[in-house]
Amino acid sequence: MNVYIEQVKAILEEENMIAALSNLSAFIKQEDDGLNWAGFYFVTKTDMVLGPFQGKVACTHIPFTKGVLGSTYRSNNPQRIDNVHAIKDHIACDSASNSELCVPVYHNKQMVLIIDLDSSSFNHFTKEDEEKMLQVATCIEQAILQHSWY
Ligand code: SME
């Protein structure tokens, strides 16, 4: 886990936010064979907008009222979903996705980004994966401050 986080920090040394998050999405996906999609949604005033990602073409705008992303926003908490089909308003960008992990990233106590990971396996994401992504979120929060991304 420490080597993983060291690599995340090295990627986030890049000062351009899009370049850094693009590489970070590639890193997260390449390190876990079980992922079919890994990326970011930007929280804006009106909705959540697709950011850098690796995977199939995805929904560009997601309302706060819908999907696992919407639940993340409304609950202010990570969402680890073993079976996305059991979530009534889950948004299926890739029909191959069966489980999902969403982890929020904050700046000045405002949610600014959501890390979104999808897997084609059911029950893919463990508590340890969630904790690891919480650490990645902390690294992004530090990069936001370091590079004045907001
Ligand atoms: N499944 C998400 C939508 C984004 S895609 O997974 C890339 C949701 O239900 O909010």
Instruction: Please give the average pLDDT of every successive group of 10 residues along the chain, which has 150 residues.
Output: 93 98 98 98 98 96 96 97 90 90 98 98 98 98 97
Q: What is the mean pLDDT of the chain?
A: 96
Ligand 1 geometric centre to CA of 91 (Å): 5
Angle (CA) 93-98-101 rounded to 5° is: 80
pLDDT digits (tens, 9 = 90+) for 17-33: 999 999 999 999 999 99
Closest ligand 1 atom to the C-alpha of 93?
5
> Which residue among 53, 60, 66, 69 is best mutated to probe the pocket of ligand 1, counting the most ligand atoms within 8 A of its Cβ?
69
Residue 27 host element (H or E):
helix 17-30
> Residues with Cβ within 6 A of ligand 1?
37, 58-59, 62, 67-69, 90-91, 93, 97, 100, 116, 118
Specify the pTM: 0.97
pLDDT digits (tens, 9 = 90+) for 85-107: 998 788 888 888 999 999 999 99
